[in-house]
Chain A
Amino acid sequence: MAHLALALGFVLILMGLYGALTNRDILRMIVAFTIADTGVNVVLVAVGYMPGRTAPILDAAVPLAEAGARIIDPVPQALVLTAIVIGLGVTALMLAYAYRLFRARGSLDISDFTELKW
């Protein structure tokens, strides 16, 4: 199961990278970045999974005394929580920039913005 999720995450990263590198339309590049971001989160959570154990919430099913023996690694989940929220922040920023670029030039094709090329 962990291998399946790991492979899925890696394939999503590759697909997102491919989309970001080959698309000309700025909005589709941002969508590809979102896909790659989701892939990274899936990889991180898959690394923390241990077969036969359960979620790191201690309640009637997993009493406090057996915590060390029954829960999976909680640290990757804490990292992924932060990563998801910051991914949204970066997407919002990219969209704001895309909007300003559109206002400045009237097109969303990235080959129209050539000031920085040699």
Chain B
Amino acid sequence: MTLTLAMALILALASLAAAGVALATRSRATAVLAAGLLSLFASVLFVLLAAPDVAMTEAAIGSGLTTFLFFFVMGRIRREGRK
């Protein structure tokens, strides 16, 4: 088993674990962070699949901007709920 195949296998298992955490956890913040982590793992997997453009886009947009969008809205909702 070559090195890239072993790395891809580890990444796949880690991605599945992150997705499982995102779906099963009770707190919203952990779910959002786990989804961001999944995007990051997918970005590294894209590099292994010989797609550097896609990896850069997924890292910037999927892992960065989406997580921040979620936290903005969750912060607003929590502050309104407390009022």
Residue of B nearest to A96 (CB): B73
Among residues 22 to 47 in chain A, which have CB atoms less than 8 Å away from a CB atom of chain B? 25, 27-28, 30-32, 34-35, 38, 41-42, 45-46
Hey, which chain B residues are within 8 Å of A8, CB to CB? 12, 15-16, 45
Q: Are A45 and B38 in contact (CB under 8 A)?
A: no
* Size category, B interface: 35 or more
Identify which of A18, A35, A81, A87 contacts B53 (C-beta below 8 A): A81
Q: Once the chains are docked, how many angstroms separate the CA of A7 from the CA of B9?
A: 11
* Size category, A interface: 35 or more
Distance to closest chain A CB from B68 (angstroms): 11
Q: Are B66 and A12 in contact (CB under 8 A)?
A: no
Distance to closest chain A CB from B35 (angstroms): 5
Instruction: Tell me if A88 is interfacial: C-beta within 8 Å of chain B.
Output: yes
Known: A38-B38, A38-B39, A99-B73. A27 touches B28 (CB 8 A): yes
Q: Are B61 and A88 in contact (CB under 8 A)?
A: yes
Residue of B nearest to A55 (CB): B50
Q: Once the chains are docked, how many angstroms separate the CA of A107 from the CA of B23?
A: 20
Q: Are B42 and A38 in contact (CB under 8 A)?
A: yes
Known: A15-B20, A27-B70. A81 touches B46 (CB 8 A): no
Q: Are A108 and B69 in contact (CB under 8 A)?
A: no
Distance to closest chain B CB from A61 (angstroms): 12
Distance to closest chain A CB from B52 (angstroms): 6
Residue of B nearest to A42 (CB): B42
Distance to closest chain A CB from B14 (angstroms): 10
Q: List 13 A-B contacts (CB under 8 A).
A: A2-B49, A19-B23, A27-B32, A27-B73, A38-B38, A38-B62, A56-B50, A77-B51, A84-B54, A88-B66, A88-B69, A96-B73, A102-B77
